[in-house]
Amino acid sequence: MKEETFMDREALGLIETRGLIASIEAADAMVKAANVKLVGQEKIGKGLITVMVRGDVGAVKAAVDAGVAAAEDIGEVVSNYVIPRPHQDVETLLPQSNK
Q: Which domain holds residue 42?
A: 9-93
92 secondary structure, DSSP code: G
How far apart CA 28 and CA 69 sit, in angstroms, is: 12
- Residue bearing the bigger pLDDT, 57 or 98: 57
Q: Kindly state whether residue 23 falls inside one of the protein's structural domains.
A: yes
**Domain at 15, CATH number:** 3.30.70.1710
Quote the pLDDT of residue 94: 83
pLDDT in tens, 40-79: 999 999 999 999 999 999 999 999 999 999 999 999 999 9
- Residue bearing the bigger pLDDT, 84 or 95: 84
Q: Kindly state whether residue 3 falls inside one of the protein's structural domains.
A: no
Q: Kindly state whether residue 22 falls inside one of the protein's structural domains.
A: yes
Quote the pLDDT of residue 99: 44
